[in-house]
Amino acid sequence: MKITKAAVIACVSCLAVGALSAAVIEWHGFRASSSPNAFGTTTIASSVRDSAIPPVEHRHVNTVAVLHSDATQKAAVPQQASSAAHYVGSESCQKCHAAIYERWKKTPMANVVRDPKTHPDAIIPDLNTNDIARFTVDQVAFVYGSKWKQRYFTKIGDDYYPLPAQWDIGNKKWMKYHVPDTGADWWTAFYPSDNMQRPTGPTCDGCHSVNYDIHTKQVTEWNVGCERCHGPGSEHAAHPTRTNILNPSGMDAVASNDTCIQCHSQGQPRNGLIEGKAYDWPVGYRVGLHLADFWKLEDGTLGQTDFLHFADGTAHKNRMQGNDFVQSVMYRHGVTCASCHDVHGTDNEAQLRKPADKLCLDCHGPTSPNGPYTATLEEHTHHKDGSPGSQCVACHMPRIETQGVPGSFVSSHTFRFITPAMTDKYKMPNPCTSCHTDKSTAWASKELSSWKTTSPWRVAP
């Protein structure tokens, strides 16, 4: 076989490049303090690294790493709302996004507060059975809540006020409603004790509406509408493009999560009182801005359990998912609220994108580099597949955060496993004896110590 002159030149060139590359590596090395250029050292290092990876491993994807990488790249192109855009209401979105709109209309987000005059089915109990503080349907301007508890707001002038009785939905009974003057929410120090002197504008309405104006006390619409998360939509409604509307899924992880944390957190306005009033929501913030410029999360004192936190820093009450989540490994790796939840509406609990037992396995599983590092899930959970104890959320997201009425709790979002030893030390509930109610923490610690697939330093004293 004849070898052409061009082929010989090509082979010699490749050998020369290889020799030069080896010389560069020998002379320069891959020092951590070096700043590689875009083609030279980086290309050589990547080639050497990749040549050492078996071909089959190139097909394995670290999902969390991809999420983090995507978030980092998105951060380079921040989204900003047009200064000329104004709020137009969710109905303006219906024409082009009919399917999403219809799903959203059925969600709790779209039905936080309802007017019983237009929604006569909104009031769950018979008001005549109220033996706490009687009121009539004519006094109810808004009904708040439909899952755990239901509260009732009356309107006086331009303000709404909480009536002093609430309905415990799970236990089907009336209860007193009054935020304690001390030992509870921070804002109570700035308002009289009487419910009729605690308007919901500063304490609630900013999160239960779109575009609440603290001066006029008017809103674009009540409930968590499209523009609460996508920003003012007038320009997009008139000339729909991807460039004139905000989309949290296209933001960096911090901004995307802040879309939810603005209301799913306990905190205080960054600058304290606003025009002499205590607001329990981030006045001035809208999607696309930096939440931390307007809002600071409540601090906890490690080792101390109070109204807001357990002793390890886990949230103690409802509406603190954001306080929990920012502490988590998930948050640090670029996972967002939208990675798990679709606020437009699903048929799953908490608007999850998939049932919880399937959702976690998108990123975790026996073959995932994210763990668990066992051959099967049963080896990790030590519970039969399909049983309550085999659910990821049973151990990593226990329902320990109170909804304010007896027996109603929501899941923690730190994803930390709370050990029985922590129950002994900090008096906080752990998932083991919360499920095995007939067993002691000593029993649970002994069982965990026998699990050879789990580090004893993480689960038992």
pLDDT at 454: 87
Sign of CA dihedral 376, 381, 382, 384: negative
Give the 3-state secondary structure of residue 432.
helix
Residue type, 408: S
Instruction: Please name which of 95, 126, 94 lies closest in space to residue 110, comparing C-alpha atoms.
Output: 94
- The interaxial angle of helices 5-28 and 40-51, nearest 10 deg, is 100
Round the average pLDDT of the chain to a whole number and report it.
87
Predicted confidence (pLDDT) per residue in 104-118, tens digit: 999 999 999 999 999
Q: What proportion of the chain, given as a percentage, has pLDDT over 70?
A: 82
Say whether pLDDT at 4 is over 80. Answer: no
Q: Does residue 451 fall inside a structural domain?
A: yes
Sequence length of the chain is: 461
Quote the domain boundaries for residue 451: 417-461
Q: Does residue 428 fall inside a structural domain?
A: yes
Q: Does residue 427 fall inside a structural domain?
A: yes
pLDDT: which is higher, 243 or 68: 243
Predicted confidence (pLDDT) per residue in 147-203, tens digit: 999 999 999 999 999 999 999 999 999 999 999 999 999 999 999 999 999 999 999
pLDDT at 35: 37
Q: Does residue 331 fall inside a structural domain?
A: no
Predicted confidence (pLDDT) per residue in 121-153, tens digit: 999 999 999 999 999 999 999 999 999 999 999
Q: Does residue 453 fall inside a structural domain?
A: yes
Secondary structure tally for the chain: helices H, strands E: 19, 12
Q: Does residue 92 fall inside a structural domain?
A: no
pLDDT at 458: 87
Structurally, how many domains does the chain consist of? 1
- The interaxial angle of helices 63-75 and 253-261, nearest 10 deg, is 90
CA distance 303 to 427: 10
Q: Does residue 170 fall inside a structural domain?
A: no
Q: Does residue 442 fall inside a structural domain?
A: yes
Give the 3-state secondary structure of residue 358.
helix
Predicted TM-score (pTM) of the model is 0.82
Strands (E) located in 172-277: 173-176, 209-210, 221-222, 267-269
